[in-house]
Amino acid sequence: MSRPIRNHEILSAVFAKMDATAMAVAMGSLCSLLLFLATAVLLMQASPENYPVGQHLSDLTDYLPGYSVDWTGAFVGACYGFLLGGLAGFFAAVYWNLTHYFALGVMLISSAQLAD
Average pLDDT, whole number, for the chain? 85
Say what the pTM is: 0.77
20 located within any domain? yes
pLDDT at 74: 94
**Rounded Cα–Cα distance for residues 50 and 97 (Å):** 51
1 located within any domain? no
pLDDT at 109: 80
Total structural domains in the chain? 1
Cα atoms in the Cβ-side hemisphere of radius 13 Å centred on 111: 11
pLDDT at 22: 96
43 located within any domain? yes
CA nearest to 17, candidates 87, 84, 95, 88: 95
E strand segments, 32-99: none
User: Domain range holding 78?
Assistant: 7-115
